[in-house]
Structure 1
Amino acid sequence: MPVIIENRVTSGTFSLDGGTWDVDNNVWIVGDESECVIIDAPHDVATIVEQVGDRKVLAVLLTHAHDDHITVARELAARVGSLVHLHPADLELWQLTHPGTEPDRFLADGQEFTVAGTVLKAIHTPGHSPGSTCFHLESEGTVFTGDTLFQGGPGATGRSFSSRPTILASIRERLLTLPPETVVRTGHGPDTTIGAEAEALAAVTA
């Protein structure tokens, strides 16, 4: 059975460093008609659960722990009977939204998740946040980049817990090494490709 990649957009706010902004977030669901994983858990449990339907959810994978990506992670995992996975370097950010708790599982660089007969591989890409993680679905020629790489360049690094030199190094060393035709599915906004972003980043300096 072929792998299905689905997108739902949820709307809410992002808050950090005393500011709050309205945002639309991409939620990615990867699997087939019987099982799936969910990438990110923003804003609206009902919308995500509706998209999942009666499929078995093998994991809730978080690209990073800014509140607009994890707000409903706990509730979502409980609703679908699954576990939340996050890189440990983002634990401090996680606890700003979910005080006194930890995610169910900590992600490791290179960790693999098998779903629908294929493999999602975690790639640690710090910079936007210390624990930012992308998920490479090599069989389908795509990578889910959260807020690390967008159409038009790197994610934001102007707030706490972020570093522009670090995100540029992560993108160049961990993402631009993927085939140029790889589709980049982002945490906000439209898709792009590795090739398009490699060209755009060629002249960018830290």
Structure 2
Amino acid sequence: MGVRIEQVVTSGIFSLDGGSWDVDNNVWIIGNDDEALVVDAAHDADAILAALGNRRLTAVVCTHAHNDHINAAPAVAEKTGAPVFLHLDDRLLWSQTHPEHSPAYLCDQSRLTVADTEIQVLHTPGHTPGAISLYIPELDTVLTGDTLFAGGPGATGRSFSDFPTIIRSIRDRLLTLPPHTTVLTGHGPSAIIADEAAHLDDWIARGY
């Protein structure tokens, strides 16, 4: 079977700025029957490893370093020998959750490959300084973490976040992708670029 994207939903706690919230996270597995890459290893390493099965894991990629997106990453990496990748600008957030582990670092326009399929790294800061989105042209899909959801941008009311920055990221890096591109998010349902682009001015006007 060719390259595909599978979803695993895990549940746990998001903690930041002294608050804690129950959350459900989308973990995405990109690959084929032989090898795969995990995006946002959240909460439950055993569930992620079970979904991987016997496939070789090439990497664990973090769209940003909020604890609910990275808390299972070291455990998945240790069980599989795969490296963990993160944008350099989120290193301080990463160290709040995993001070004893060091990831490898990505930058804008980095390229990753799994199952002979290229994944383009887009730096899309705003939700966090090092937030990234992962664009897969071959699959007409972009994985946006918590930068863009079905219905609006990610939250910017906590430390390390900024609303004008996330709007620029969405406008200049995501809404410029082909209109039919599917958006796979860090929480909740998927979206389509064209549908979200239609609401950009409304988000700006109300400061979302």
TM-score, normalised to structure 2's length? 0.96
User: Identity over aligned residues, as a percent?
Assistant: 54
Q: How does 1:24-63 map to 2 (within 5 A)?
A: 24-63=24-63
Unaligned runs of 5+ in 1: none
Whether 1:138 aligns to 2:108 is no
Counterpart-to-counterpart distance in 2, 1:72 and 1:93: 15
Report what 1:10 is aligned to. 10
Give the structure 2 partner of residue 127 of structure 1. 126
Tell me whether 93-102 or 105-114 shows the greater mean CA deviation.
93-102
Preserved CA contact (<8 Å) 2:63 2:132 = yes
Other-structure match for 1:111: 110
Deviation at 1:81, TM superposition (A): 1.6
2:102 maps to which residue? Answer: 102
Q: Letter of the 1:178 partner, please give it.
A: L
Q: Which stretch has the larger CA shift, 151-160 or 194-203?
A: 194-203
Amino acid at match of 2:80: V
> Shift of residue 203 of structure 1?
2.7
Distance in 1 between the 2:113 and 2:128 partners? 26
d(CA) in 2 for partners of 1:39 and 1:23?
17
Deviations 1:155-194 (A, max 9, x none): 0000000000000000000000001100000000000011
Number of residue pairs matched by the alignment: 205
- The whole-number CA distance in structure 2 between the counterparts of 1:203 and 1:96 is 35
Show the counterpart of 2:174.
175
Please say if residues 152 and 203 of structure 2, whose CA atoms lie closer than 8 Å, have aligned partners that are also in contact.
no
Deviating beyond 4 angstroms after TM superposition, the runs of 4 or more aligned structure 1 residues are none
- Distance in 1 (CA, whole Å) between partners of 2:85 and 2:55 is 19
Structure-2 residue corresponding to 1:73: 73
How far 1:106 sits from its partner (Å)?
Answer: 0.2
TM-score, normalised to structure 1's length? 0.97
CA distance in 2, matches of 1:52, 1:100: 25
Q: Which runs of 5+ in 2 are unaligned?
A: none
RMSD over equivalenced CA pairs, Å? 0.9
